[in-house]
Chains A and B, each alone.
Chain A
Amino acid sequence: MPALSVASTETYESGDSALRVVAISDEREENWLTVHRLAGWLEGCGAEGIHGAVPTYDSVLVEFDPYLVSARQVRAFVQLGLRELDATGASSTEQREFDVPVVYGGEYGPDLERVAEYQGLDPADVIRLHSEKTYTIRCLGAPAGSPMMDGPAFPKPVPRLKDPRLSVPAGAVSVAGRQAVIAPASAPGGWCVIGQTPLTVLNLRKEPLVPYKPGDILRFRAIEAGDFAAYAGRELEPRP
């Protein structure tokens, strides 16, 4: 049941063209819902000069054109939005579900053994923990609209790589800290890659370019390396 109230927030200056709004309640879900609802409200309000909002876990970055609107005006606007959201309450949005086949370990997941060793687990346990969880997509991040999710129930947070890779392939399934992610595009990366999905996540001919949005549900399913080719070229799509 989504929280109906809007979390308290703090607003920080972030240069002349952006503000960072942070939700500071003790409830993580409420914070997350607040910043995403605020981002949605800002996108939809059509205020002149506001480019858009980037919501993540407990914060939202609001970007604007300082020629058309000042940081002070945007700050007042954010307060207006929060009051309005508090008054209307959260509406339930449709949650779609995504199934993601993953080849774990080997060349597809070069850090699987390392993660297992650090956690004091067998690679098979890491795969089990990673694929038995139901994930909620928390936000879209770098690179290219990556689905950022709360990570699997590992005993410890996963340290980032000391030497980030110069290139991680599209489809890479990674973990770091208490987070999990899929890479829609090839990019440098410092997260631990434990597998790869053969599905295509990013489609430049569609808008938005990735099929999921924050709040959607995602599950990983282990497949054999031999089946990678059979899935390759297919697009990630919500379950009907």
Chain B
Amino acid sequence: MTGHIAIQQPGKSVVTDLGRFRGPRFGLPVNGALDQYSARAANILVGNADNDPLVEITALDFRMRPDTDILISVTGAPLTLTVGGRPCSQWEPVSVSAGETVTIRGIHTGLRAYLAIHGSVEAPTLLGSCAPDTVIGFGLQLSEGTSLSVRKSVHPVRQPYFDLPLFRLGLERPGMGSALLVDVTDGPDFAEFGDSAALLFNSEYTVSGRSNHIGLRLGGQLPERTSTGEVLSRGVPVGAVEVPSREELLVLHRGRGVTAGYPVLAVATSTGLDILAQARPGDKVRFRRTTVAEATSAHRRSRQQLETLRESVQTVFDLLGIGSRPGWQDLAAAACG
């Protein structure tokens, strides 16, 4: 059984996934959900695969209405979520009946929210990914009247008492705020900045309004490259911290051009990039120096939490008969028949 979701107020929203991992070899940025933890969590909470297409909503209010029963989850920046006028929890699965309006309002202390739908939605792909690429003009950008095709419908799952939230999965939510601490490791060209590299760890930077999915521009005290000479174009990692001008520090994010000729001072860690994905213009950022080994451990801890969540969700969904496996509803029907 399938249906459609009508987008009534798109705000600034796109259908995306974890990224075009086969893109960089062909000169295309990886793109995909900027806050990877929140995107994975959203999909896991509705029983999807981590990489299934979902909606990324940036900063502005959003409203939609499905014509079939669906199960959704909303993660990322704190916001006000209502379904059919009832306030609902973020970071939990939420049932939506056909015809009910879902609103997302007042995204604050953070910038991006993720909306996943059980069974996911249809979206065109390029090199195996639906992630939008603004440079080549690919991707599904939502606008008023867009109709998303839902792959699966789910019968409403409701607490019979006062419509209290049914799930309490208790996932750790990423910390958000207007003062952000971002872990970085030394970049391959760290030495080219001499003593001035230390400024990166001792200064506070302000997020510029010119920041986007390609990179964050930060004002503050800038380390300076001490060496000169032409740098050959090289592949640059997502998270690369560069000093391309005398005005701003640049931290490249998932929309970054894959090659560049600037020396890489430092590289934001995977968890640091999720934090930067939620940085709003005017927010303050400090950088903390870490090692690749520590960054890897931190990332694995957060991914392990998501694995634990996946198990909890699977258990609950099995009990409620959500998803492909037969559950109690089918068993009950079989017993009656």
Contacts and interface: CB of A to CB of B under 8 A. Distances in A.
Contact of B24 (A13, A54, A71): A54
B26 A15 contact: no
A10 to B, nearest CB: 9
Contacts of A184: 136
Contacts of A157: 230
Given A13-B186, A185-B135, A140 B26 contact: yes
A70 B295 CA distance: 10
B25 A39 contact: yes
Interface string B129-173: 000000111100000000000000000000000000000000000
Contacts of B256: 142
Interface stretch (B52-60, B262-270, B324-332): B262-270
B243 interface: no
B138 to A, nearest CB: 6
Contacts of B233: 56-57, 139, 141, 148, 179
A109 B6 CA distance: 46
A20 B188 contact: yes
B-side interface size class: 35 or more
Contact of A66 (B24, B187, B264, B299): B299
B316 interface: no
Interface residues of A, number: 48
Contact of A56 (B235, B237, B267, B300): B235
B232 interface: yes
Interface in B269-325: 269-270, 292-293, 295-296, 299-300, 303
B239 interface: yes
Interface stretch (A86-94, A122-130, A206-214): A206-214
A150 B24 CA distance: 21
A210 B126 contact: no
Contacts of B22: 51-52
Interface string A88-117: 000000000000000000000000000000
Given A142-B29, A202-B136, A16 B257 contact: no
A119 to B, nearest CB: 17
B259 interface: yes
A61 B237 contact: yes
A61 B235 contact: yes
B303 A67 contact: yes
A187 interface: yes
Find the residue from A16, A52, A60, A204 having the highest chain B CB count within 10 A.
Answer: A16
B65 to A, nearest CB: 31
Interface in A39-94: 39, 43, 51-61, 63, 66-67, 70-71
Q: From B28, B234, B267, name the one whose CB has the most chain A CB atoms within 10 angstroms.
A: B234
Interface in B227-245: 230, 232-240
B75 to A, nearest CB: 18
B185 A58 contact: no
A54 B260 CA distance: 12
Contact of B259 (A39, A54, A185, A204): A54
A210 B126 CA distance: 13
Nearest to A11: B188
22 contacts: A15-B239, A15-B240, A15-B267, A15-B269, A16-B270, A16-B292, A18-B238, A51-B21, A52-B25, A53-B235, A56-B234, A56-B235, A57-B233, A66-B296, A142-B135, A142-B258, A143-B257, A145-B28, A157-B230, A177-B230, A185-B135, A207-B127
Interface of A: 12-18, 20, 39, 43, 51-61, 63, 66-67, 70-71, 139-146, 148, 157, 177-179, 184-185, 187, 202, 204, 207-210
Interface of B: 21-22, 24-30, 126-127, 135-138, 185-188, 230, 232-240, 256-261, 264, 267-270, 292-293, 295-296, 299-300, 303
Given A52-B24, A139-B259, A209-B28, 12 more contacts: A16-B292, A55-B235, A56-B234, A59-B234, A63-B30, A66-B299, A71-B296, A143-B135, A144-B135, A146-B27, A210-B26, A210-B27
